[in-house]
Amino acid sequence: MSPLKTHISYITHSSYFYITHLRVAACSVSSSVFALLVHAFICSQVDYCNSNLIGLPKVCFWPLQAVLNVVAKSMAHYSYLSTFMLEQLHWLPLSACIKFNIIILVFKAQ
């Protein structure tokens, strides 16, 4: 297994660990606090070094996109998932997020 696939599987497993524990806390906190917790524990892990995944095929980082989809489903009760992720949470799909991070790095380098 390549180091990047190992990195992806580690992030996926640890994110699902946090998701199970955050679902327990979701009923006792408000939705805005839950969104902050999700962003702190899960989105920060998924975004960490994701610019290194630029050359991989989309199949390799589908598990990370699945993690984001599971979290968004737990936050969006009665709306479509894709529109909720884009309009309410302001989350890009993972492939677009990786490209955006590369563009930002190039822009800052100039």
* For residue 99, pLDDT beyond 80: yes
Q: Could you report the per-residue pLDDT of 17-65, keeping only the tens digit for each?
A: 999 998 888 888 888 888 889 889 998 998 888 888 888 888 888 999 8
The pLDDT mean for the chain works out to 85
Confidence of residue 83 (pLDDT cuts 50, 70, 90): confident
Contacts of 74 (CB under 8 A, 6+ apart): 19, 23, 26
Percentage of the chain surpassing pLDDT 70?
A: 92
| Interatomic CA distance for residues 20 and 5, integer angstroms | 23
Helix (H, G, I), strand (E, B), or coil: what is residue 53? helix
Cα separations in angstroms, 27 against 21, 23, 31, 33, 38: 11, 7, 9, 11, 14
**pLDDT the model gives residue 71:** 86
Confidence of residue 86 (pLDDT cuts 50, 70, 90): low
Contacts of 54 (CB under 8 A, 6+ apart): 98, 99, 102
Contacts of 27 (CB under 8 A, 6+ apart): none
**pLDDT the model gives residue 80:** 67
Domain definitions of the chain by residue range? 3-109
* For residue 89, pLDDT beyond 70: yes
**pLDDT the model gives residue 16:** 94
